[in-house]
Amino acid sequence: MQRKKTPPKSGLKGWSGRFSEPVDELVKRYTASVEFDRRLAGFDIQGSLAHARMLHTCGVLSAQDVSDIERGLADIAAEIERDEFDWSIDQEDVHLNIEKRLTELVGDAGKRLHTGRSRNDQVATDIRLYLRDATDRILALIRTLQENLVTLAEQHVDTLMPGFTHLQVAQPVSFAHHLMAYYEMTLRDAQRFSECRNRVNQLPLGAAALAGTTFPIDREQVARELGFDGVCSNSLDAVSDRDFAIEFCADAALLMMHLSRLSEELIVWMSPRFGFIELADRFCTGSSIMPQKKNPDVPELVRGKTGRINGHLVALLTLMKAQPLAYNKDNQEDKEPLFDTADTVIATLRIYADLFTGVKVNKDAMRAAAAQGFATATDLADYLVKKGLPFREAHEAVARAVRLASEKGVDLAELSLGELQQFSTLVGEDALDQLSLDGALAARNHTGGTAPEQVRRAIALARKTLSA
């Protein structure tokens, strides 16, 4: 005869009623998410309060129940705040932990809170509240970084540096113009995050497990109380959609990609071979063996952390690929990549915003580097074109002049008029003006160009946008 297993008693999980034996220890640990989703507690409580109040408005919960729930959830928030809350993997996740404690504190009202709701719409709501908050913090930090970039740019409109292509000296640019390129990139990043926020800010609650609920609920009331712009229109989609999380990670990956490019430049610029800038000591570290070293660890780590952010994006895309409707437990795996993405982006932005207040610029090294790479060769070619030579021929003539200068170990500007005229008889006295670095800079005077006048305009526009 088969031994009858004793059904689990109270104190077991919120769903244990239909099971005849307790969950295996390893399975319990494998399926629990409380270690990482407990950071959603504040949002979970917010969502529960709105849900309970709505159930009362709709006549499902009594006034007494709601006030018990409010009191209990306030106590729980305080326990969590004081780090006295007893988190347990016996209760699987943040939702069941809080619900169990609520029931301990206020009795039956706690057991009624889950009426017309499922953890499926509950967790989707929590993540959206969390992401909305993270997005707002990221947007504020991008703005601070931009302000500090623009402030540095303002001081360096007339600071001339070599602009590069292929990391070879190409044409002179204003250092401010170079910095403002990153302003533009981060501006697009901010736009993307705010557009993503619109899609995050829709309420899934009310979808219940997947099909909605039989209770007369008012989802709009909950949306209003929680500051959502609207409610998710389809219950199946509401509980299973994680597009918004993927989108957030994609926006984060683009932002980090931009910051990794900036990092690479900082690293190159501060290498003694370039010597363009110095970072404040507080952002650098030394070597345990080489006493002379001042290493750019922060930019190197930003560059490195970009890899994990890309990884998180791919993890979420892969997580969602081919999932049937509606909720699947796979989705529990969305949290760690998402949290780490937000944490990493926030920490990176905080540190970079501060870093740009302590950049020391070596203008002489920048100018000297620009003077070494025949950076005005295009200007001389343009000069010949203006005298009537077709561009391809002008290009060829200047290339030969560059070869001569290179053989002599001098810059184009150091060749005599006679020497230049060997390559084209069109070269006149006035050609020498074209070869000055400052002349080359000032000549690119159109929207988006590097002429100081244009850079000042771009900075003023950025200031206006930032103060709006």
Cα distance between residue 143 and residue 255, in whole Å: 13
Residue 395: CA count within 13 A, CB half-sphere: 3
Q: Could you tell me the two tokens for 52? A: 């309970």
Residue 123: CB minimum distance to ligand ARG, A: 4
Q: Residue 82 or 329: which CB sits closer to ligand ARG? A: 329
Q: Which of 10, 166, 416, 467 is catalytic?
A: 166
**Is 166 labeled as catalytic in the residue annotation?**
yes
Q: Residue 40 or 222: which CB sits closer to ligand ARG? A: 40
Helix (H) or strand (E) holding 69: helix 63-81
Residue 209: CB minimum distance to ligand ARG, A: 7
Using CB under 6 A, list all residues that contact ligand ARG.
33, 37, 93, 119-120, 123, 327, 329, 331-332
Q: Which of 20, 88, 287, 406 is catalytic?
A: 287
Q: Residue 148 or 331: which CB sits closer to ligand ARG? A: 331
What SS3 class is residue 453?
A: helix
Backbone Cα Rg of the chain: 31
Q: Residue 193 or 244: which CB sits closer to ligand ARG? A: 244
Q: Could you tell me the two tokens for 143? A: 């703005």
**Beta-bridge mates of residue 279:** 359
With beta carbons less than 8 A apart as the criterion, state whether 252 and 187 touch: no
Q: Is the dihedral of CA 164, 168, 172, 175 positive or negative?
A: positive
Q: Residue 123 or 250: which CB sits closer to ligand ARG? A: 123
The DSSP result for 335-366, as a single string, is HHHHHHHHHHHHHHHHHHHHHTTSEEE-HHHH
Residue 282: CA count within 13 A, CB half-sphere: 8
The DSSP result for 140-181, as a single string, is HHHHHHHHHHHHHHHTTTT-EEEEEETTEEEEEEEHHHHHHH
With beta carbons less than 8 A apart as the criterion, state whether 75 and 21 touch: no
**Is 287 labeled as catalytic in the residue annotation?**
yes
Residue 119: CB minimum distance to ligand ARG, A: 4
Residue type, 140: A
Q: Residue 120 or 235: which CB sits closer to ligand ARG? A: 120
Residue positions annotated with a catalytic role:
166, 287
